[in-house]
Amino acid sequence: MRVIVAGIGYRNLRDHSVGVMVTDLLESRRWPEGVVVEDLSYGPIAVVQRLEDDPPERRPDRAVFVAAAVRGDRRPGTVTAYRWDAVLPSPELIQGAVCEAVTGVIALDNTLVVAQHFGALPEEVVVVEVEPDNHEAGETLGGVVGEAFEPLCALVTRLALDHSAAGRLPVGPLGGPLPPVNAR
């Protein structure tokens, strides 16, 4: 099975950098053949192009996306993991996502909607979200997100390598009402 682990976020934006920080750490580890770890924080249209650049036989079967996502209904530092149901919003909202993508917005939901719309994602997409707390500029994670970092890396690793672990996750919509995961 081919897997891509993809971090999404902004560098130097404290908790919103968590996806990038996870992939930075995980890129330095040894992975089995077929697992690629990459920072995909360069805009949704570029992500589509990156994923489509792989020849069909080298495209991933599973993608594990990790990022901060403000949902507002979770406590800061809460980790939620699920298999995305890949249901796209209305055509108007898709057009809005594409417009935001062209202007440089880098966000988990936007990246997934645009990449799914253009058919660039594999059938299985696992989403690992962290509710951010610290929204200021800076190079370090805030307290509760910082405490969740090592367990978060372990969770992302498990979801990349263990097919059954990914398969046990609930299926749901982006940002849907799902139970948090005990990443610790």
Structural domains in the chain, CATH included, are 3-172 (3.40.50.1450)
- Residues of the chain short of pLDDT 50, as ranges, are 184
Closest CA to 79 of 8, 168, 150: 150
pLDDT of res. 22: 98
pLDDT of res. 17: 96
pLDDT of res. 42: 87
pLDDT of res. 182: 61
pLDDT, tens digit, for every residue of 90-119? Answer: 999 999 998 888 888 889 999 999 999 999
pLDDT of res. 43: 86
pLDDT of res. 30: 95
pLDDT of res. 181: 66
pLDDT of res. 103: 86
